[in-house]
Chains A and B, each alone.
Chain A
Amino acid sequence: MQIIYTVLLANIARLLRGFGARMITRIWRLGAASRLFFLTIFYSGESFRRFHLTLREIYFTGVMSLLIIIVSAFFVGMVLALQGYNTLQKYGSSEAIGVLVALSLVRELGPVVTALLFAGRAGTAITAEIGLMKTTEQLSAMEMMAVNPIARVVAPRFWAGVISMPILATLFSMVGVLGGYLVAVPLIGVDDGAFWSQMQANVDVRDDIINGVIKSLVFGVACTMIALFEGFDAPPTAEGVSHATTRTVVISSLTVLGLDFVLTSFMIVV
């Protein structure tokens, strides 16, 4: 009995030690990420003085993500119209399909799905690029040339992500509405005028559209910063970069979903 207690206590102690070590690592990483965030803001002047650096990154993160965003938005809009019509017709309000598609996209799906796709497409690319720059000593070379990598590499990518995300989310919502229209009006036969007029009457600029843009801005800051930090913090090995890329997708996705709940709560209450 004594031996069982001793073994049990030893195992509990080992588990607690492991848990504590993991928590300390996470807190340390949170601190390091916050430090990188403030340094990025501090050294952001260069990104605007030499805007071509930021513009180049907007091309890689924003423009190159357009295809996946537009195709996904189109299908999401079409599915929304199909599902929405299926439910609404039971209550005899199938004309409200336009409002349902628009509100779902502008308030939630536009910012959230765009952020998730952005994390998978642009976020991973940012992490892998910076991780490899670290592995191949390109960041050290920059440091040794008296060029600050945060000002030259991190800040332009950060602002590119922050600028790109709301534009991509807006495009997502627009294309999604178009996809919903194509399914609802020509395919199902909902009245064209009812589709647009109900949408016009019920979608509010401040409560719906502006709030959606605010969400996508916050997601842009979070997703880009996570991708940059993971790349910057990646151990300089192939395995390290691979793990960092995976972490970017996992942490960004969970952060976006968590932040979405928090932001929605505030927006509905206020």
Chain B
Amino acid sequence: MALLEVDDVVAGYGAGPDILNGVTVTIEEGSSYCIVGPNGAGKSTLLRAIAGFLKPRAGEVRLDGVSMNGSRPDQMLAAGVCFVPQDASLFPGMSVKENLVMGGYLIEDRSLLQERLENVYEAFPVLAERKSQHAGTLSGGEQQMVTLGRALMIEPRMVMIDEPSLGLAPMIADQIFEKITGFKDLGITVVLVEQNAVKGLETVDWGFVLDLGSLEFDGPADGILADPRIRDLYLGKAMTPREGA
């Protein structure tokens, strides 16, 4: 059975228009995915709808075949679906360590929390070095490392990461993508939204092409990268490799 099914979901913000016009995607456990598409296609909205930040107006999000409609973000997280939004979502007044511990907010067992913290320091040595520094004083790349490390604290079944390379220098972005590949190696299902479609698709197994709030195409990531039609129709300039990339 699929880990997560998004079935004909319609969603939008407040009293605004529909951003998602009936999206259907299937996420298999242990695979990795990248959602690409032009600005305003509804990529971030799809992640927010899955994470429980946005209630679907129609359709259904199912986890292990069970409808999750109406679940709050904390309930989705408890069910194993972790969301990393694109705006640096740290606690600026807390240290790196406190931020990571907050990532384990749902963990009641203190020794387990400590064990997870050690695991994160091992996977992200830079965070161990900076553990007592205030998160608000870190560079953009380091902040992104903290958000990824924090997501690892809960050892989710699935992590959804929105625009991990936004605003980062290519070299730093490469380090971030390396960490994301690390999630996959731990058996965590990864769903990326990435403006740099080439980089994003190179990192994952499977691609979704979203446009105007519905799924236009999906297939193996290398297939999408090789298909000139999709490049011209949906990805435009985003497909042109950046200098040095």
Specify whether A and B are partners. no
Tell me the B residues contacting A by CB distance below 8 Å.
Answer: none
